[in-house]
């Protein structure tokens, strides 16, 4: 089957299953991808969540293969899983099982209550799952197994053998009861047991896509994400075996091959959230780490934002001049008493900001006067008219006579030219980033739309996180506007200073 045909087949299977199994999109995705990549799936959850039914129906999508299903108990014997002893072999003093129709000859298997397996079954089961070998007496059989679906109501107990078995299941899903009422009604009023998948995959399809994916190149940014995740998981005391990492990369290659990609790109990394956790309570932490790293690719506005803030702070520092006495605005204080918002719209930045009631430096004082030329002021920290309702010009004259204080708010010619040049450079970079972010958003939407393995919920969260970059763009633009105002308003400030000196 061609890749495009395989992709369409997978889409059809997903659509069929989603219609019958509500709120199980992630489990359906993982189960199909596990089949295609030859990995094992664990469905963990309370009784009555259709774990066994889902696994059973997924296995029915494979035609031309042998299927083995068994419910394990603590009293299950190897004969029930691997086949009965051969009496003919025993007559010749040989130990051998009749494996036909049992796990050693299965392509797909479903083992219910997988962690109930006892020690007499475990050793052979581990070898089958990992090496695809079964030691049948003197004979070593190649097991044609693609995937085992394990279902369990609980995590394995603290037992070294069970932990090794648990590690063999690359895909892990914590299955919960249906949350939305309309989906629950669809479940209880429809006969999902009667569902028969009409779209099928063949054994040849599985082998073909694995062969195609074997040597697929992994993008450098995906390698960087994997390295970063390993470090963060180690810091969180979550340790992933080397074997699991190797298998994970193979899965990403298969997922990308089915999508028709020529390399493994960073969107496929979203799948790791179902392959890295050991305990269900780790799921959300790992999911957040992965989504943050997936979205952090592309245009990085962080450095530009910091450069803009540095320039703004530099301009402010050059213009700051401490007043000899604090100055309080009488008008703002009266308005503050009348409203609970304490906000005003700045003529400089065009955004709402807290009202300035007291000023300790000349720049803020002069900016406030430029915005509100009719306001009057008094001295000291108390909002009163002890010193009278003085105009800006009167305050400036008072400072000059009492303290010999002169307003010096104009930038030096050299500083101003330097800042203007830097401002133009940052504005040019902002325009470039704004355009690039918009183009990346469109490309990201298209990438998510054509990636059949990323669930709708994951796609939604990725886009929300990515669009937060637009918030950075807006903040950067606001800071640049503030810088432009500071540079352009020098003439206004100079006029006000001349007025104060004349007065």
Task: Answer whether residue 467 is part of any domain.
Answer: yes
Which residues share a beta bridge with 173?
A: 43
Task: Answer whether residue 194 is part of any domain.
Answer: yes
The backbone torsions φ and ψ at residue 358, rounded to the nearest 5 degrees and listed phi first, read -130, 140
Question: Does pLDDT of 86 surpass 70?
Answer: yes
Task: Answer whether residue 77 is part of any domain.
Answer: yes
Tokens of 42: 């664990």
Going by pLDDT thresholds of 50, 70 and 90, the confidence category of residue 467 is confident
For the segment 37-70, what is each residue's pLDDT rounded down to a tens digit?
Answer: 999 999 998 888 888 888 888 888 988 888 999 9
- The CATH number that applies at residue 52 is 3.40.50.300
Tokens of 326: 């604090």
Q: Which of 389, 407, 425 is the last residue of a domain?
A: 407
Task: Answer whether residue 82 is part of any domain.
Answer: yes
pLDDT top residue among 296 and 100: 100
Asked whether residue 402 falls in the same domain as residue 329, the answer is yes
Q: How far apart are CA 295 and CA 463, in angstroms?
A: 8
What is the 3 state secondary structure string of 20-40? HCCCCHHHHHHHHHHHHHCCC
Asked whether residue 85 falls in the same domain as residue 225, the answer is no
Task: Answer whether residue 135 is part of any domain.
Answer: yes
pLDDT in the model for residue 83: 94
Calculate mean pLDDT across residues 459-464: 89
Asked whether residue 191 falls in the same domain as residue 268, the answer is no
pLDDT in the model for residue 94: 82
Task: Answer whether residue 348 is part of any domain.
Answer: no
pLDDT in the model for residue 503: 47
For the segment 257-268, what is each residue's pLDDT rounded down to a tens digit?
Answer: 999 999 998 889
Q: Which residue has the tokens 């299903």?
A: 69
For the segment 352-403, what is each residue's pLDDT rounded down to a tens digit?
Answer: 444 557 888 887 887 788 788 889 988 754 444 455 688 888 888 888 888 8
Q: How far is CA 297 from CA 100, 210, 220, in A?
A: 51, 28, 11
Q: How far apart are CA 268 and CA 226, in angstroms?
A: 12
159: three-class secondary structure by DSSP? coil
Asked whether residue 28 falls in the same domain as residue 176, the answer is yes
Asked whether residue 97 falls in the same domain as residue 201, the answer is yes
The backbone torsions φ and ψ at residue 62, rounded to the nearest 5 degrees and listed phi first, read -95, 125
pLDDT in the model for residue 382: 45
Give how many domains the chain has, as a whole number.
4
Asked whether residue 55 falls in the same domain as residue 163, the answer is yes
Q: Which of 153, 188, 209 is the last residue of a domain?
A: 209
Q: How far apart are CA 488 and CA 180, in angstroms?
A: 57
pLDDT in the model for residue 423: 92
pLDDT in the model for residue 357: 75
Percent of all residues in the chain with a pLDDT value above 90, rounded to a whole number: 34
Sheet holding 67-71, edge to edge: 67-71, 108-112, 147-152, 41-44, 171-174
From the CA atom positions of the chain, what is the Rg in Å? 35
Going by pLDDT thresholds of 50, 70 and 90, the confidence category of residue 210 is very high
Residue 298 is classified by DSSP as S
The secondary element (H helix, E strand) that includes residue 173 is strand 171-174
Sign of CA dihedral 173, 179, 183, 186: positive
Asked whether residue 417 falls in the same domain as residue 274, the answer is no
- 240: containing domain: 215-296
Q: Judge whether 71 and 112 are in contact, CB under 8 Å.
A: yes
Calculate mean pLDDT across residues 285-305: 80
Asked whether residue 131 falls in the same domain as residue 172, the answer is yes
Which residues share a beta bridge with 152?
A: 44
Asked whether residue 247 falls in the same domain as residue 133, the answer is no
Q: What is the mean pLDDT of the chain?
A: 84
The backbone torsions φ and ψ at residue 34, rounded to the nearest 5 degrees and listed phi first, read -65, -45
Task: Answer whether residue 310 is part of any domain.
Answer: no
Residue 296 is classified by DSSP as T
160: three-class secondary structure by DSSP? helix
Asked whether residue 109 falls in the same domain as residue 136, the answer is yes
Q: Which of 209, 228, 261 is the last residue of a domain?
A: 209
Asked whether residue 142 falls in the same domain as residue 47, the answer is yes
pLDDT in the model for residue 296: 67
Asked whether residue 361 falls in the same domain as residue 418, the answer is no
pLDDT top residue among 303 and 346: 303
Q: How far apart are CA 149 and CA 223, in angstroms?
A: 29
Task: Answer whether residue 304 is part of any domain.
Answer: no
Minimal CA–CA distance to 389: which of 377, 379, 381?
Answer: 377
The secondary element (H helix, E strand) that includes residue 132 is none
pLDDT in the model for residue 410: 66
pLDDT in the model for residue 325: 87
What is the 3 state secondary structure string of 426-466? HHHHHHHHHHHHHHHHHHHHHHHHHCCCCCHHHHHHHHHHH
Q: How far is CA 204 from CA 66, 68, 201, 253, 272, in A?
A: 14, 19, 8, 18, 26
The model's pTM is 0.70
Residue 85 is classified by DSSP as B
Q: What separation, in Å, do the N-terminal and C-terminal C-alpha atoms of the chain show?
A: 90
pLDDT in the model for residue 197: 86
């Amino acid at each position: 089957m061609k890749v495009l045909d395989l992709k369409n087949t997978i889409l059809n299977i997903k659509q069929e299953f989603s219609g019958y199994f509500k709120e199980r999109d992630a489990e359906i995705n993982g189960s199909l991808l596990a089949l295609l990549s030859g990995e094992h799936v664990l469905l963990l959850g309370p009784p009555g969540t259709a774990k066994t039914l889902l696994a059973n129906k997924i296995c029915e999508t494979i035609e031309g293969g042998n299927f083995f299903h068994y419910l394990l108990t603590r009293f299950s014997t190897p004969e029930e899983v691997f086949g009965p002893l051969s009496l003919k072999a025993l007559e010749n003093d040989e130990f051998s099982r009749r494996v036909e129709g049992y796990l050693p000859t299965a392509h797909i298997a479903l083992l219910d209550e997988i962690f109930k397996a006892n020690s007499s079954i475990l050793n052979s089961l581990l070898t089958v799952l990992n090496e695809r070998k079964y030691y049948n007496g003197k004979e070593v059989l190649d097991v044609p197994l693609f995937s085992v679906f394990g279902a369990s109501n609980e995590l394995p107990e603290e037992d070294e053998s069970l932990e090794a078995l648990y590690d063999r299941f690359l895909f892990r899903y914590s299955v919960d009861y249906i949350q939305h009422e309309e989906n629950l009604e669809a479940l209880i009023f429809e006969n999902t047991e009667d569902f028969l998948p009409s779209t099928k995959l063949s054994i040849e399809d599985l082998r073909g896509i694995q062969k195609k994916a074997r040597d697929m190149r992994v993008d450098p940014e995906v390698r960087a994400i994997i390295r970063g995740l390993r470090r963060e998981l180690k810091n969180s005391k979550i340790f992933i075996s080397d074997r699991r990492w190797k298998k994970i990369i193979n899965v990403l290659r298969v997922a990308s091959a089915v999508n028709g990609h020529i390399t493994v790109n960073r969107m496929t990394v979203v799948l790791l959230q179902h392959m890295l956790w050991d305990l269900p309570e780790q799921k959300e932490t790992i999911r957040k780490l992965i989504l943050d790293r997936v979205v952090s690719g592309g245009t990085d506005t962080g450095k530009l934002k910091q450069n803009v803030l540095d320039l703004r702070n530099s301009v402010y520092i050059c213009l700051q001049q401490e007043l000899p006495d604090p100055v309080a605005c009488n008008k703002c204080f009266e308005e503050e008493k009348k409203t609970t918002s304490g906000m005003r719209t700045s003529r400089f930045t065009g955004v709402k900001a807290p009202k300035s009631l007291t000023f300790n430096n000349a720049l803020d004082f002069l900016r406030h006067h430029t915005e509100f030329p009719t306001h009057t002021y008094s001295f000291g920290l108390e909002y009163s008219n002890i010193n009278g309702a003085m105009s800006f010009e009167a305050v400036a004259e008072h400072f000059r006579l009492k303290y010999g204080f002169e307003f010096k708010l104009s930038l030096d010619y050299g500083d101003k030219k330097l800042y203007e040049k830097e401002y133009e450079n940052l504005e040019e970079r902002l325009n470039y980033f704004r355009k690039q972010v918009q183009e990346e958003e469109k490309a990201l939407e298209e990438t998510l739309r054509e990636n059949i393995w990323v669930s709708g919920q994951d796609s939604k969260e990725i886009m929300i996180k990515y669009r937060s970059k637009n918030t950075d763009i807006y903040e950067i633009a606001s800071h640049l506007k503030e810088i432009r105002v500071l540079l352009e308003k020098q003439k206004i400030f100079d006029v006000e200073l001349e007025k104060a000196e004349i007065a």
